[in-house]
Amino acid sequence: MSVLKLAKLNFSNRCYIFGSCSGLLLIYIGGLFVANPFTNTFRLLDHSSSSLLPWIVGGDGRYYFPNEHEYPQGNNARTERAMCVGFAVNRTTKSFKIVCILEMETGYGFEINDGYCWRLSETTINASSKSDLTTRMKPVYLDGTLHWLRNDGSIIAFNPETEQARMIPSIFHRESDMKLLFAADDNINRLTLILGTKETISVYALRKNSKWILARQIKNVSMEDSILVSWNMVAYDGKHLVVREMKKNTFKGLVHVEGLVHVEGLVHVYDMKANSWRVLGLPWCPSHYDRDFYKFMPSLFPVEEDEQTKVIIASDDQRIRYLTAVMRLTDTTK
Ligand SMILES: *[C@@H]1O[C@H](CO)[C@@H](O)[C@H](O)[C@H]1NC(C)=O
Ligand SMILES: *[C@@H]1O[C@H](CO)[C@@H](O)[C@H](O)[C@H]1NC(C)=O
Ligand SMILES: CC(=O)N[C@H]1CO[C@H](CO)[C@@H](O)[C@@H]1O
């Protein structure tokens, strides 16, 4: 597989993709679903007894969290805390686990769902220094372990199978104008940190000694300052780096609405082997949701449950219409 498959997230109250792993999506559309877009199958999970998810997906203005942060809006909680939800698929057993990282007074705890129930892992981990999880930076699943990045560059690693947690004390220095992407290089099986300025994008790989080593430096894609609204690095797999640029609409003939800037998104892909940029497409995407891109690799992994525990959903359920629409986004034949 040489090309990144992207599933674009259409962010609205009704829809949020939490994760994509081995061809399965963890997605919220009025309910929490695990879906396989390739086989067009899905499964509804009960998230009501999770200590984190109702707070993230709720939208009624009442939010409470163990550390007593209050968010006035559900969408805020969603955009800023959705990265606490990790999604992992075990390719051998073809089973999935959802892991929520819980920030507590002195450290972190983990809540796990294996498709049936939510439970708190006995594992907790204390950090030696205080640093927040990097907002909106999705956890990276590598070597059977979920990794969450903190603002100081250290990483919290949790293995959903063994339920062992550890801190990786890596640090990096980031200038305030630098863009950041936490990812994995699938070729060399290493965690990767990508720091970008408008001129240069630097790719760092994590060594066994917990040091970030500069692996690669590439020139940015040329972006026209006069029409550039924002840009971000949104996906990386070791072969390709995906950059999303938001720029003022330059199409002629569009009715200009006063006070409203027409913004369009442009997706650039850098081929790490060919050392070249190309334009992937010009999808419509809302300007403020930079990170809503997902690597997607079709698989035949099942999501169905056994008949006894199956949650029946009417076929005309509104949520299924949305879910089907989102699953279609990943159709790579179009
Ligand atoms: C973390 O710190 C708390 C309070 O100091 C302590 O009770 C707990 O045992 C510690 N956990 C670990 C895993 O060290
Ligand atoms: C998948 O599950 C099996 C059985 O529990 C376990 O031995 C294996 O380590 C798991 N693989 C990963 C990558 O977690
Ligand atoms: C926006 C911006 O700074 N673009 C620069 C990207 O890098 C090229 C050289 O590779 C410059 O010419 C552009 O000005």
Task: Please work out whether the CB of residue 106 comes within 6 Å of at least one atom of ligand 1.
Answer: yes
Least confident range from 88-92, 173-177, 293-297: namely: 293-297
Q: What is the largest CA-CA distance in the chain?
A: 61
Per-residue burial over 50-83, b if 16 or more Cβ lie within 10 Å, else e, is bebbebbbeeeeebebeeeeebeebeebbbebbb
Query: For the chain, what are the domain ranges?
Result: 1-171+304-334
Q: What is the mean pLDDT of the chain?
A: 79
* pLDDT at residue 274, as a whole number: 92
CA atoms of 158 and 147, how far apart (whole Å): 7
**CA-closest residue to ligand 2 atom 4:** 93
Residue nearest to atom 5 of ligand 2 (CA): 161
pTM of the full predicted structure? 0.83
Q: Report how far residue 147's alpha carbon sits from residue 62's, in angstroms, rounded to the nearest whole number.
A: 30
Ligand 2 centre distance from Cα of residue 295 (Å): 22
> What is the DSSP code (8-state) at residue 144?
T
Does the pLDDT of residue 207 top 80, yes or no? yes
pLDDT (0 to 100) of residue 8: 38
Q: Of all atoms in ligand 2, which is nearest to the CA of residue 161?
A: 14
Reported as a single tens digit per residue, the pLDDT across 104-159 is: 877 999 999 998 899 999 999 998 888 999 988 999 999 999 999 999 889 999 99
Q: pLDDT digit string (tens) for 237-286?
A: 999 998 888 777 655 444 444 445 566 777 888 999 999 998 876 554 44
**Residue 30: is its pLDDT beyond 70?**
yes
Quote helix, strand, coil % in the chain, to nearest 5.
10, 40, 50
How far, in Å, is the centroid of ligand 1 from the Cα of 84? Answer: 21
Ligand 1 test: best mutation among 105, 120, 125, 126, most atoms within 8 Å of CB? Answer: 126
Segment holding 74, helix H or strand E: helix 74-81
Q: pLDDT (tens digit, 9 = 90+) per residue, 143-201?
A: 999 999 999 889 999 999 999 999 999 988 888 889 999 999 988 999 999 999 888 99
Phi, psi values for residue 242, rounded to 5°: -110, 125
Q: What are phi and psi of 18, to 5 degrees?
A: -90, -30
User: From the CB of 200, is ligand 3 less than 6 Å away?
Assistant: no
> Which contacts qualify for 173-180: CB closer than 8 Å, 24 or more apart?
179/231, 179/232, 179/233, 180/134, 180/137, 180/233
pLDDT at residue 332 greater than cutoff 90 = no
Q: Give the DSSP letter string of 212-238.
A: EEEEEEEEPPP--TTTEEEEEEEEE-S
CA of 140 to the centre of ligand 3 (A): 30
Q: Which is the closest atom of ligand 1 to the Cα of 124? A: 13
Q: Looking at the CA of residue 123, tell me the nearest atom of ligand 1.
A: 13
Question: Is 125's C-beta closer than 6 angstroms to any atom of ligand 1?
Answer: yes
The tens digit of pLDDT for each residue in 59-71 reads 443 333 333 344 3
Is the pLDDT at 5 greater than 90, yes or no? no
Alpha-carbon distance of 184 to 186, in angstroms, equals 6
Residue 223 Cβ contacting ligand 3 at under 6 Å: yes
Measuring CA to CA, how many Å separate 273 from each of 197, 199, 241?
21, 20, 11
Residue 308's pLDDT band, with cuts at 50, 70 and 90, is low
Residue nearest to atom 8 of ligand 3 (CA): 222
Most trustworthy range by pLDDT among 25-39, 65-79, 318-332: 25-39
Paired residues of 37 in beta bridges: none
Q: Region 296-315: what's the mean pLDDT?
A: 70
144 lines ligand 2 (CB under 6 A): yes
Rounded to 10 degrees, the C-alpha dihedral 195/200/201/206 comes to -60
